[in-house]
């Protein structure tokens, strides 16, 4: 027997599908009102979906239409318990992982898709000084603006969605204790604005750009707001991002940094590398890549239902985002300079016998973090168990041998190997540093292998856990701590 549930509109007991009852006995408006009331009372999203018979996407749409912004919780303003993260240390490597998203000051996870405040805190501390001007043109719930206020920086916060502006202003209603930071407190300037048109800002006027754009078609951040990038398809999204990049380059001061958090998506079982496409857009605008940070996500379920699905259908849950740190150079280069690099990886077809690399549990997300003392066994074991398929896999392995003098030779070698008749083609590679800037080798490989018979199945981030890594930034550079596995499916 079904459990009796009281209809929130007519208060009659319902034996069965409450959503069906509400829709048949009441108006669509009443139906949506009942859902919002359930949300306001604290009912979880899965419960609402089960009770009212709607999908998560439908719930998001109802909330966004009602409040003008996509929020995960409808609740009163939180009580501030503390003003700064406890035991905070600046990140020193290219892998950033925050198990707790951070809830100091007015930070919370209310605004869907907002980034952890640890990210703008690290970026602001690394690349700006007290009193300097930070620009965030995708303000969202105001995470960057709150951090700028706490850290004694001036901030211009803009968002194309008026509801986001109101949410940001609400989160900025606090008087931080003194002295929180050895600098005056500057109240952020918050207003409606379009990242694609920064005409209000003069050339070379911004000290730091720190922003988290919406991802194309993944989460809708607004309802009926013209120009909202989250409403666009991937091609149109990247087109508009190029405009954002051009405007960012214009307003940023030479020698200063622009940090953008962006992720990938999946379409028809294959990965769409939105992150690398976004990096391309900013490089085309004239920026140089100072750092390429990998931000690990911790909200991916890796056991039970998702573990079984991951193994059965051979896919990984997307668990990483990219945080490229761009720099506007002082000197505009008028001609390309040939890369002369002695540390590109060697490309060799190599996959060891599966019997020697057996493991008990496979990784199910796109971030593989293994202990240093067991790295090879776990690394090769996962590759072999997932992709060997009777040995029909081609593996292009990185090597410490300095056999390649330039990027062109390295990529040419990969391109030739990709023509082999196998089911999977896997490239193991790593970004490198040329002088003061990062050469995004993985991105360059993906750009090269845009072939009709190669479909990008996974972008996997691999890193060693438990290694003794210096706690200091060497020569103003982060320690490169991650590698990539680019998994291609060869389509006949």
**What CATH number is associated with residue 102?**
3.40.50.150
pLDDT digits (tens, 9 = 90+) for 195-248: 999 999 999 999 999 999 987 555 666 566 777 777 778 899 999 999 999 999
With 70 as the cut, is the pLDDT of residue 338 above it?
A: no
pLDDT of residue 120: 97
Token pair 């976004």: residue = 278
Structure-block tokens of residue 404:
């390649």
pLDDT of residue 380: 87
Residue 72 covered by a domain: no
Q: Are residues 304 and 174 in the same domain?
A: yes
Mean pLDDT, the chain, integer: 80
Distance in angstroms (rounded) separating the CA atoms of residues 326 and 337: 19
Greater confidence (333 vs 295) lies with 295
Measuring CA to CA, how many Å separate 374 from each of 359, 361, 483? 11, 14, 16
Task: Identify the band that residue 421 occupies on the pLDDT scale cut at 50, 70 and 90.
Answer: low
Residues 6+ apart with CB under 8 A from 97: 295, 296, 298
With 90 as the cut, is the pLDDT of residue 291 above it?
A: yes
Give the range of the structural domain holding residue 31, as residue numbers without chain letter.
4-67
- The torsion angle over the Cα atoms of residues 277, 283, 285 and 288, rounded to 10 degrees, is 150
With 80 as the cut, is the pLDDT of residue 431 above it?
A: yes
Greater confidence (93 vs 76) lies with 93
Residues 6+ apart with CB under 8 A from 311: 362, 364
Q: Are residues 237 and 135 in the same domain?
A: yes
Mean pLDDT of 273-302: 90
Q: Are residues 28 and 133 in the same domain?
A: no
pLDDT of residue 443: 93
Mean pLDDT of 76-81: 74
pLDDT of residue 281: 96
pLDDT of residue 410: 66
pLDDT of residue 199: 97
User: CA 446, 450, 451, 453 torsion: positive or negative?
Assistant: positive
With 80 as the cut, is the pLDDT of residue 260 above it?
A: yes
Residue 207 covered by a domain: yes
pLDDT of residue 354: 46
Task: Identify the band that residue 175 occupies on the pLDDT scale cut at 50, 70 and 90.
Answer: confident
pLDDT of residue 473: 52
| pLDDT above 90 coverage of the chain, percent | 38
Q: Are residues 36 and 114 in the same domain?
A: no
Task: Identify the band that residue 344 occupies on the pLDDT scale cut at 50, 70 and 90.
Answer: very low
Residue 349 covered by a domain: no
pLDDT of residue 425: 85
Mean pLDDT of 443-465: 88
CATH number for the domain that contains residue 486: 3.30.110.20
Q: Are residues 228 and 302 in the same domain?
A: yes
User: What's the chain's Rg over C-alpha atoms?
Assistant: 24
Task: Identify the band that residue 178 occupies on the pLDDT scale cut at 50, 70 and 90.
Answer: low
Task: Identify the band that residue 261 occupies on the pLDDT scale cut at 50, 70 and 90.
Answer: very high
Residue 87 covered by a domain: no
Residue 212 covered by a domain: yes
pLDDT digits (tens, 9 = 90+) for 85-140: 988 999 999 999 998 888 899 887 676 667 899 999 999 999 999 999 999 999 98
User: CA 403, 409, 410, 412 torsion: positive or negative?
Assistant: negative
pLDDT of residue 341: 36
Single pTM value for the model? 0.83
Residue 341 covered by a domain: no
CB-CB contact of 214 with 225 (8 Å):
no
CB-CB contact of 325 with 294 (8 Å):
no
Residue 333 covered by a domain: no
The domain total for the chain is: 3
Greater confidence (490 vs 242) lies with 242
CB-CB contact of 277 with 270 (8 Å):
no
Residue 336 covered by a domain: no
Distance in angstroms (rounded) separating the CA atoms of residues 351 and 485: 14
With 80 as the cut, is the pLDDT of residue 350 above it?
A: no
Distance in angstroms (rounded) separating the CA atoms of residues 116 and 125: 15
pLDDT of residue 133: 98
Mean pLDDT of 148-160: 94
Highest mean pLDDT: which range of 133-147, 390-404, 440-454, 466-480: 133-147
Whether the bond between 179 and the residue before it is cis, its omega within 30 degrees of 0, is: yes
Cβ contacts of 159-162, under 8 Å, gap ≥ 24: 159/192, 159/193, 160/192, 160/193, 160/194, 160/195, 160/222, 160/225, 160/227, 160/228, 161/68, 161/69, 161/192, 161/221, 161/222, 161/225, 161/228, 162/68, 162/192, 162/225
Q: Which range has the worst mean pLDDT, 135-139, 163-167, 386-390, 460-464?
A: 386-390
Residues paired with residue 486 on neighbouring β-strands, in sequence order: 427, 459
pLDDT of residue 202: 97
Residues 6+ apart with CB under 8 A from 333: none
| pLDDT above 70 coverage of the chain, percent | 73
The overall longest dimension of the chain from CA atoms, in Å, is 77
Q: Are residues 146 and 250 in the same domain?
A: yes
Q: Are residues 412 and 281 in the same domain?
A: no
Task: Identify the band that residue 370 occupies on the pLDDT scale cut at 50, 70 and 90.
Answer: very high
Q: Which range has the worst mean pLDDT, 149-163, 250-264, 466-480?
A: 466-480
Mean pLDDT of 475-492: 87
Q: Are residues 423 and 307 in the same domain?
A: no
Measuring CA to CA, how many Å separate 370 from each of 235, 412, 481? 36, 31, 12
With 90 as the cut, is the pLDDT of residue 190 above it?
A: yes
With 60 as the cut, is the pLDDT of residue 324 above it?
A: yes
pLDDT of residue 77: 65
Q: Are residues 41 and 102 in the same domain?
A: no
Cβ contacts of 444-448, under 8 Å, gap ≥ 24: 444/407, 444/411, 445/411, 445/414, 445/486, 446/273, 446/276, 446/486, 447/276, 447/280, 448/411, 448/414, 448/415
Q: Are residues 43 and 124 in the same domain?
A: no
Q: Are residues 254 and 380 in the same domain?
A: no
Structure-block tokens of residue 221:
């951040």
Q: In this structure, what are the phi and psi dihedrals at residue 344, rounded to the nearest 5 degrees?
A: -70, 155
With 50 as the cut, is the pLDDT of residue 82 above it?
A: yes
Q: Are residues 365 and 291 in the same domain?
A: no
Structure-block tokens of residue 81:
């318990």
pLDDT of residue 490: 81
């Amino acid at each position: 027997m079904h459990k009796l549930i009281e209809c929130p509109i007519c208060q009659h007991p319902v034996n069965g599908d409450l959503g069906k009852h509400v829709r048949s006995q009441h108006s669509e408006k009443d139906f949506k009102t009942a859902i919002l009331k359930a949300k306001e009372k604290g009912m979880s999203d899965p419960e609402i979906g089960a009770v009212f018979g709607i999908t998560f996407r439908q719930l998001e749409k109802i909330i966004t239409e009602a409040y003008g912004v996509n929020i995960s919780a409808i609740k009163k303003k939180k009580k501030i318990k503390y003003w700064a993260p406890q035991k905070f240390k600046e990140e020193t490597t290219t892998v950033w992982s925050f198990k707790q998203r951070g809830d100091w000051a007015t930070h919370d996870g209310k605004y869907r898709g907002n980034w952890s405040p640890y990210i703008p805190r690290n970026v602001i501390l690394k690349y700006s000084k007290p009193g300097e001007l930070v620009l965030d043109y995708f303000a969202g719930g105001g995470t960057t603006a709150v951090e700028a206020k706490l850290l004694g920086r001036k901030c211009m916060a803009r968002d194309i969605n008026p509801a986001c502006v109101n949410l940001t202003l609400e989160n900025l209603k606090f008087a931080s204790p003194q002295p929180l930071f050895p600098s005056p407190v500057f109240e952020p300037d918050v207003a409606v604005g379009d990242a694609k048109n920064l005409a209000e800002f003069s050339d070379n006027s911004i000290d730091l750009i720190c922003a988290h754009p919406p991802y194309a078609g993944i989460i809708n951040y607004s309802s009926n707001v013209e120009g909202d990038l989250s409403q666009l398809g991937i091609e149109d999204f990247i087109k508009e991002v190029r405009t954002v990049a051009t405007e960012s380059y214009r307003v940023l001061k030479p020698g200063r940094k622009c940090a953008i958090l962006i992720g990938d998506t999946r379409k028809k079982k294959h990965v769409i590398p939105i992150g690398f496409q976004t990096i391309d857009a900013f490089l085309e605008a004239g920026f140089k890549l100072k750092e390429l940070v990998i931000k690990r996500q911790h909200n991916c379920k890796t056991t039970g239902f998702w573990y079984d699905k991951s193994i059965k259908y051979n896919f990984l849950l997307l668990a990483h985002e990219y945080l490229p740190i761009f720099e506007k150079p002082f000197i505009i280069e008028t001609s390309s300079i040939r890369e002369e690099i002695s540390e590109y990886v060697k490309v060799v077809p190599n996959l060891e016998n599966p019997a020697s690399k057996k493991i008990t549990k496979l990784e199910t997300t796109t971030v593989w973090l293994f202990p240093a003392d067991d790295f090879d066994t776990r690394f090769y074991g996962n590759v072999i168990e997932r992709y060997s398929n009777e040995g029909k896999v081609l593996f292009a392995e990185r090597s410490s041998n300095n056999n390649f003098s330039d990027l062109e030779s390295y990529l040419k070698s990969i391109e030739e190997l990709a023509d082999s008749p196998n089911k999977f083609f896997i490239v193991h590679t790593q970004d490198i540093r040329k002088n003061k800037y990062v050469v995004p080798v993985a991105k360059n490989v993906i750009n090269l292998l845009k072939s009709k018979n190669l479909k990008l199945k996974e972008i996997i981030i691999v890193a060693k856990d438990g290694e003794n890594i210096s706690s200091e930034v060497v020569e103003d550079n982060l320690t490169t701590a991650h590698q990539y596995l680019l998994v291609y499916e060869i389509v006949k």
